[in-house]
Structure 1
Amino acid sequence: MELKQLTEKAIALLKGLIETQSFSTEEDKTAVLIENWFKAYEIPFKRTKNNVWATNKYFDETKPTLLLNSHHDTVKPNSKYTNDPFKAFVENGKLYGLGSNDAGGCLVSLIATFTKFYAVENLKYNLVIVASAEEENSGNNGLNSMLPIIPHIDVAIVGEPTLMNLAVAEKGLVVFDAEVDGTPSHAAHPNDNNAIYNTIEVLQWFKDFKFDKSSDALGDVKMTVTQINAGSQHNVVPGHVDLVIDVRVNDAYSNQEIADILQAQAPCTKITPRSLRLNSSSISLEHDLVKAGIAMGRETYGSPTLSDQSVLTCQSLKLGPGDSTRSHSANEFIYLAEIEEGIKIYVELLENCLKV
């Protein structure tokens, strides 16, 4: 199958995806476009809710399985767009449109790559591709819901924009709700236990606190207070202040360990994690995928941004065309050359790892 033709078809698919609204939980129409690709190439597929998936033709249960995954949902366009976010157009080599960079370019590149290898015999790994839903909102009906349905996965390539460099580790995420208590009162009367003033010391603690263990790939755990809320009217001292704390977890800690540390040490009345399931992820530098990528001249790094890697329990590599700094930006775009290069690198990488 000619790579040039596959690349042209992949770009055409991406244009269709851009022009089809697919906010998280509303991906039914883009799922149909992906189904149509598999039909056109006579590849049997299945659809579970808005997740579309397929296995290679010569799937062999005695072999390990490599997952190829990216998502077809998008965030909602921000208010700074000057282009129509649902209009796919090319200008100066850039394909503009919502979801072009995050993660449409990755998705269509992986779909093209899977199609290239679909009917190849005697691969070292089985292939499973999942075009997943609900990544942007970490929803219940995304890749996490597919893991009991698809075959057991031994390793994964998750398509997110990395400039086709190898994200060999990714930080996890825990969001905490915290409360600082005080004594409610009328603002006109003395009050030595003002919850808002009590929060000053708590905020300083969160600003200064350092987790002991760092990571070669991901550095330190990053903890940030991102929301604060208190009070209802000017003449009432509130009884408590609510805080939200965003913690980006390196691969030296589990999310449960982070929760245990904060619940034991944070000077709050209470602090509660919303979820512990979005853990950090990584892949050994000795894995065939990583060694092959390094041999091809690709750089390795640790990613601070969250993806569907967080729901996988196997080793996983984040790799894809596009630039993460463009994600969720106004007038989002991806270079056509990045998609062409992405497909070429994906194919070469798998050729180096899948062929016996």
Structure 2
Amino acid sequence: MHSGLSLSSRRGVLTGLAAGSAALAMPSMAKARRTQTPLKEKAMTAVRYCSQRVGEVDIFYREAGPVDAPVLLLLHGFPTSSHMFRDLLPELANSYRVIAPDLPGFGQTKAPPRGHFDYTFDALAEVIGGFVEALGLNRYALYIFDYGAPVGLRLAMRHPERVSAIVSQNGNAYVEGFSDQWGPWEAYWREPSAKNRDACRPSLAPDMIKNWQYGTGADPSLLSPDGYELDIAYMARPGAEDIQLDLIFDYRSNVGLYPAFQAYFREHRPPLLAVWGRHDPAFVPAGAMAYQSDLPDAEVHLLDAGHFALETHHAEIATLMRDFLRRHISA
């Protein structure tokens, strides 16, 4: 049916309608663009769950962040796993490739049983060194916590050129850092008898994991049961206690290496941030301050937290790390 409008008039009307439609669409398009950015950021910070074969060991690890970003290698402690980094990984993954493996004998890593694998710190460092090689990590910053400290510092001594910086979160490298709670372990180191080995078993008990290791000095309202309940479950697996007792005995080798670790600090001068839960029942704040005796520029922050400081203070630790890493490694 004819409208009675001339061709030029109809074109004018259609042009106006098109312009109006475009104007109406612009807010929707802008909104779509705005929503794409958070989705992209969320994808970048999403944690990936992976496995890497190293010899006879299948290493489970968590990874987040761009694959071409500077690398952070996070090494957990006793009696936990990479699960302890579950809140930290997304906090850092916008700017870094963050990788957190489970050590042999811990978490989801599959390693041979005792008698077929040497559960010592040298062996743990050897496997993690192979893991680093397999992933092609030629340069990385270390986050060392508890058992992760002697493992990570062995890597650093072997390849100092690869370590861009160190974050030590209750990761001890000085005798000054020991509390007065090490009696049964020290007795076992001096005399490795069956009696002294059994005297260390209470360190592996559910109550000790929950209330002593996690609970000491921690705000209970901030302490999720996820961490300690998972660690308790891992400890209940067949053979787990004896693997841990082997590592408890071999911990003496780490103390013997403290002078070598300290010589590494003095010679290679890695930028170091010590973030310490001041209420740690095992490693006291003097262990954090001691880093400055070999690294005068080391930055030390004592938090109102316990041994597992990430459980209650992951946001504060992430903030300190971002500032420190921004100043010392490129991102």
Higher strand share: 1
TM class by shorter chain equals 0.3 to 0.5
Whichever structure has more helix as a proportion of its residues is: 2
TM-score, with length taken from structure 2: 0.35
Give TM-score scaled by structure 1 length. Answer: 0.33
